[in-house]
Structure 1
Amino acid sequence: MKRRSLGSAILNGKCPRCREGNIFPVAMLSYLKLTEVHQECPHCEAVLTPEPDFFYGAMYISYAFSVALVINILLILNYVFGDPEISVYVITVIISNFLLLPLMLRYSKVLYLYGVGKLKYDPEKSQSLK
């Protein structure tokens, strides 16, 4: 079996221990069940939520994503479109936040789980439980 790289596992929302099982019950870009995370990895049965409210810390990462998005939109609109009306800024920020909401929420949880969670990659877990 081919080993999945760390970057590929993070981009696809896979379990930090086996890098095979999905962290979320639905696709990464889905608007359904935005906050739901598997309690255990469906592949290696690692506990993905070690305690209640574990993912509250992911709000800081999500906030950083939102701030980066707003700054980038403001810069792009200002330099590319020559300082449009304030309503254009507001509407563009609201629409882009709505469109990227699942992406920002889910990747903040994935990054938080990989960064703060105690699960470390175990290649034998990814191969033995198939």
Structure 2
Amino acid sequence: MAISKTQAIFQQKCPRCHEGHLFEHPTYSFGYQKMHTNCPVCGLRYEIEPGFFWGGMYFSYALNVAQSVILGFATYFIFGNPTAWVYLTIIIGGIFVFMPLNFRLGRVFMLHLFGSIDYDPKYSKGKILKPAANQ
């Protein structure tokens, strides 16, 4: 059974087969940024062109801003407008905690939304046709 595009994004799966993992290591590990060059299931080359994932930084930045705003409002409502140091500590701490996840989701959003790669069920496990490495 195939998963939806939204599930593939949040589970960090290949945009073509929705089965292969994009990253080699778990999110909160020392190798969190290491991506597979090609999908381990369907062979899709993830980096469509040199520098493709630079655009993922914009997604990461947007996630950081949204999380910082949410943490700021949460701090205000939980602690009743504390000093600036409390805001800074909580927001900067949140940025460091979410950094690996934001990095990954930035790349995943970039690949799924701007990679021009559609889901194709013929590339799922058991039906692999081993395509050319570049698409």
Matches within 5 A, 1:24-63: 24-27=23-26, 29-63=27-61
Query: Counting helix residues as a fraction of each chain, which structure ranks higher?
Result: 1
The letter for the 1-side match of 2:56 is A
> CA offsets per residue over residues 67-87 of structure 1, 9 Å max, x none?
111111111111221110111
Of 52, 74, 77 in structure 2, the residue corresponding to residue 76 of structure 1 is: 74
Give the CA deviation at 1:59.
0.6
Residue 23, structure 1, aligned to residue 22, structure 2: yes
Structure 1: gaps (5+ residues): none
Structure 2: gaps (5+ residues): 130-135
Distance 2:81 2:62 in 1: 24
1:67 is matched with: 65
Provide the aligned length of Structure 1 versus Structure 2.
128
1:14 is matched with: 13
Matched residue SS, 2:124 = helix
Q: CA RMSD in A?
A: 1.5
Distance 1:107 1:24 in 2: 11
> CA offsets per residue over residues 4-60 of structure 1, 9 Å max, x none?
222221111000000110001112x22322332211101100111012211000111
Distance 2:109 2:29 in 1: 19
Distance 1:80 1:117 in 2: 41
The letter for the 2-side match of 1:23 is L
Distance 1:32 1:42 in 2: 21
Give the CA deviation at 1:98.
1.0
1:105 is matched with: 103
Percent of counterpart pairs with the same letter?
Answer: 34
Distance 1:34 1:56 in 2: 17
